[in-house]
């Protein structure tokens, strides 16, 4: 059967979720439809590799002397075991290897995965690419029954109008550390296909989707340790657009010092939250699909960005248009 959820907001079409009764091995072929856009999840049986598969090293874009960076997608989910991989255990002699690699250190180039980078995405395409990144991510995770919530600048965009801020270069979400471990053991380096309509093609919405994108879920092996070390692996996982390298950053929250600081959750990048600020989570929507946000979202945003972030109407070459409820690019910046 199909469950029909009517969304009041950005999409005029309903969200259709394929809720047919399925056997225990649910995700051999799972499909979720967003207003005619499908996100198909292929889940092969769980692999039995310890650490990174050596057979993937040759296909890596990194020089051989680095012993490869993140390997390409595997045919099966690859379990990670950093204790068996010298690059992802505790730093030896002050050395820590950075798992996720970017093509540059600038604000722009630092937001692409080097494995799939072919050049910077133009402003006109940038937001559309991010929109499909977050729609596909949220839809697939909902279908997998995995709890995740919006964070940082993505949460701020949700607060303003339920959309991505047009100057953002990436997206941020969070999960619990136990969820992160579950993803690493069952879905590491799996590919997910997402079919969608061209955003500007309204006439095609009565037919089949017109475009397809493939995303990689890649879990950083260093996520298995709670320590920050040198800070090179504060990002625990990524949802990567394989057509251009843009991504969703995924970080795991844990009670890292429950003995002397109970009820305080944090990531490796020193963002701290109280249990009562996170839970119970609130159900909402973002970019037209169901999304989850922390319970005390305004308190979290004030602490991270300050009161100004919620009242300033001019930012990063854009201004807030109240009649449109949208951030619009300034004429002089175009």
The 10s digit of each residue's pLDDT in 196-229 is: 876 655 555 556 667 889 999 999 999 988 889 8
DSSP summary character for residue 92 = B
> Which secondary structure element, helix H or strand E, spans residue 291, and what is its range?
strand 289-293
> In the chain, what is the greatest distance between 2 CA atoms, to the nearest angstrom?
61
State yes or no: pLDDT of 103 exceeds 70: yes
Closest residue by Cα to residue 166 from 319, 271, 302, 293:
319
- 81 burial via Cβ count (<10 Å: 0-12, 13-18, 19+): middle
Average pLDDT rounded to a whole number, residues 26-44: 34
What's the pLDDT score for residue 59?
26
> Which secondary structure element, helix H or strand E, spans residue 3, and what is its range?
strand 2-5
Q: How far apart are CA 297 and CA 333, in angstroms?
A: 31
Dihedral sign, CA of 84, 89, 95, 100? Answer: positive
pLDDT-based confidence at residue 53 (cuts at 50, 70, 90): very low
State yes or no: pLDDT of 268 exceeds 80: yes
pLDDT-based confidence at residue 129 (cuts at 50, 70, 90): very high
What's the pLDDT score for residue 168?
93
Dump pLDDT digits (tens) for 285-314: 999 999 999 999 999 999 999 999 999 999
Q: How far apart are CA 36 and CA 38, in angstroms?
A: 6
State yes or no: pLDDT of 99 exceeds 90: yes
Helix (H, G, I), strand (E, B) or coil at 174: strand
Q: How far apart are CA 243 and CA 330, in angstroms?
A: 29
| Positions of E strands within 197-261 | 211-219, 237-241, 247-253
Predicted structure pTM score: 0.75
Closest residue by Cα to residue 217 from 245, 189, 241:
189
What's the pLDDT score for residue 214?
95
């Amino acid at each position: 059967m199909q469950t029909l959820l009517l969304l009041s907001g950005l999409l005029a079409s309903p969200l259709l979720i394929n809720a047919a009764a399925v056997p225990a091995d649910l995700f051999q072929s799972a499909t979720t439809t967003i207003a005619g856009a499908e996100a198909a999840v292929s889940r092969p049986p769980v692999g039995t590799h310890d650490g990174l598969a050596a057979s993937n090293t040759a296909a890596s874009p990194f020089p051989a002397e680095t012993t490869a960076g993140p390997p390409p997608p595997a045919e099966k989910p690859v379990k990670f075991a950093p204790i068996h991989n010298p690059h992802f255990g505790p730093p030896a002699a002050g050395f820590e290897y950075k798992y996720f690699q970017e093509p540059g250190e600038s604000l722009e180039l630092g937001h692409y995965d080097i494995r799939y980078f072919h050049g910077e995405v133009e402003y006109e395409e940038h937001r559309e690419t991010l929109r499909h990144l977050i729609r596909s991510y949220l839809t697939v995770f909902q279908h997998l029954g995995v709890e995740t919530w919006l964070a940082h600048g993505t949460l701020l965009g949700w607060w303003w109008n339920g959309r991505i801020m047009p100057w953002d270069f990436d997206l941020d979400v969070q999960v619990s550390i136990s969820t992160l471990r579950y993803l690493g053991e069952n879905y590491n380096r799996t590919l997910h296909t997402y079919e969608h309509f061209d955003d500007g093609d309204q006439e095609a919405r009565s037919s089949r989707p017109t475009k397809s994108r493939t995303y990689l879920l890649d879990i950083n092996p260093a996520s298995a340790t709670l320590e920050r070390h040198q800070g090179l692996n504060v990002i625990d996982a990524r949802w990567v657009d394989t057509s251009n390298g843009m991504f969703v950053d995924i970080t795991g929250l844990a009670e890292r010092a429950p003995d002397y600081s109970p009820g305080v959750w944090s990531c490796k990048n020193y963002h701290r939250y109280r249990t009562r600020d996170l839970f119970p989570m609130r159900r909402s929507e973002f970019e037209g699909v169901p999304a989850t946000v922390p319970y005390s979202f305004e308190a979290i945003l004030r602490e991270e960005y300050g009161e100004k972030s919620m009242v300033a109407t001019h930012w990063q070459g854009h201004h807030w248009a109240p009649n449109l409820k949208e951030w619009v690019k300034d004429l002089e910046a175009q």
